[in-house]
Amino acid sequence: MKPADIRTRAVHAGREDLADLGVHAAPIDLSTTYPSRDSRAEALRLDGFGSGEWDGGLPVYGRVSNPTVERFERALADLEGLPAAVSFASGMAAISAALLAVLSGGRRHVVAIRPLYGTTDHLLGSGLLGTEVSWADPEGVRRALRPDTGLVFVETPANPTLAEVDLADIAAQAGDVPLLVDNTFATPVLQQPARQGAAMVLHSATKFLGGHGDVMGGVIACGDEQAALLRRIRFATGGVLHPLAGYLLLRGLSTLPLRIGAASATAAVLADRLREHPGVRAVHYPGHQQGRPSDQMASGGALVAFEVDGDPHRVISAVRLITPAVSLGSVDTLIQHPASISHQIVDPEQRRACGISDRLLRLSVGLEAPDDLWSDLDQALDQALDQAGNAAAG
């Protein structure tokens, strides 16, 4: 019987056979190659692997498959409610594979909604992989479709503004064109895009899935046919997830619901307090924004974006408990300035057009006590506000 509660599934998914194996922790298989005395049979299996098929038998070579990594893939697919998942060395490697899959199907056009993670935006806009992008508003996806459209790409909540889009509506507009949703910010704890019609669900596993700032990876949950194509691309391009990373990500999933629940509760408290601070112009937090799909996310999540009156760089330099660093999803709270870090690569006019102002800060809330975090934020905001006041007076 499959447990319904995601807390139970997060603990047991990918580990169903451990008791039969007589082990408690999932084993780490670090082999790069696997011996076989039947070279004819291995040759036939390799032919299948080259086409993206996987027979579930013994491994052959680390670039084809790895038992530890497969446990993580099965677990993530379970949590996202999709048949399969394919992991990669990073989130950008996963996105690259998805775009190469579009090209391999004879199409080159992608419809995307801004904002997206800055490097994703750059990869789509630059056409580095041979794809062409049309940027659309959430209401204009259908109008942007072309006969050669092979993918609709959206991130919700979006990086870094936390803007939300109605996934069921986007999927309806996309029709037969696969919808890929970057679910990094929400995680399957708060949102399962497949329920709203997404064909593929992407994660930068480096973030909340790992959860401790010590592992890098990417993963796409999808259907079996799409998984076969993504495995074929991974086999050919080599962007594989290391087994140790697979182990750490599987371990991270077991505490994901608890971490997301605790961090989200703190983030909601901080969002409310930030609204009351005189040095804050605006706060962006899911659940507090107009026009959001009311039942899409279980809660507002663990990230807060806010715009300050003073110098945002002064706020970053003034924090002492909060970690001034890129990335997100760790057990400690991180703060960064998107316009100069994660989205610096995006054209300034395009950044501002999709709501990424030069005064915007992004806070990834960790597991510290809310009052301790607020004390640090409050004093940093006061310093920035005082500096702005002194500059105006002088």
Name the least confident of 257-261, 300-304, 352-356: 352-356
Residue 304, φ and ψ in degrees, nearest 5: -130, 135
Is pLDDT at 212 greater than 60 in this prediction?
yes
Are 86 and 227 spatial neighbours (Cβ–Cβ below 8 Å)?
yes
pLDDT for the residue numbered 345 = 82
Is pLDDT at 18 greater than 70 in this prediction?
yes
Is pLDDT at 290 greater than 60 in this prediction?
no
Can you tell me the distance from the alpha carbon of 282 to that of 286, in angstroms, rounded to the nearest whole number? 13
| DSSP three-state, residue 282 | strand
pTM: 0.94
Catalytic residue among 7, 34, 61, 63: 63
pLDDT for the residue numbered 351 = 84
What does the domain layout of the chain look like in residue ranges? 6-254, 255-393
Is pLDDT at 392 greater than 80 in this prediction?
no
Superfamily of domain 255-393: Aspartate Aminotransferase, domain 1 (3.90.1150.10)
Asked, colleague to colleague, whether 6-254 and 255-393 share their fold, the answer is no
Is pLDDT at 184 greater than 90 in this prediction?
yes
Known catalytic residue at 207: yes
- Mean per-residue pLDDT of the chain: 93
Catalytic residue among 15, 107, 114, 207: 207
Q: Which CATH number fits domain 6-254: 3.20.20.70, 3.40.50.1700, 3.40.640.10, 3.40.50.150?
A: 3.40.640.10
Known catalytic residue at 2: no
Known catalytic residue at 71: no
Dihedral angle sign, alpha carbons of residues 219, 225, 230, 231: positive
Known catalytic residue at 182: yes
Task: Tell me which residue has tokens 């630059």.
Answer: 126
User: Average pLDDT in the 349-368 region?
Assistant: 91
Catalytic residue among 9, 117, 311, 362: 117
Residues 6+ apart with CB under 8 A from 318: 379, 380, 383, 384
Catalytic residue among 78, 121, 166, 182: 182
User: Average pLDDT in the 49-71 region?
Assistant: 81
Query: Which among 324, 206, 185, 202 is positioned nearest to 260, based on CA atoms?
Result: 185
pLDDT for the residue numbered 34 = 86
User: Average pLDDT in the 196-219 region?
Assistant: 98
Confidence band of 58 (pLDDT split at 50, 70, 90): confident
Q: Which residues of 106-143 are buried (b: 16+ CB within 10 A; e: fewer)?
A: ebbbbbbbbbbbbbbbbbbbeeebebebbbbebeebbe
User: Average pLDDT in the 340-353 region?
Assistant: 82
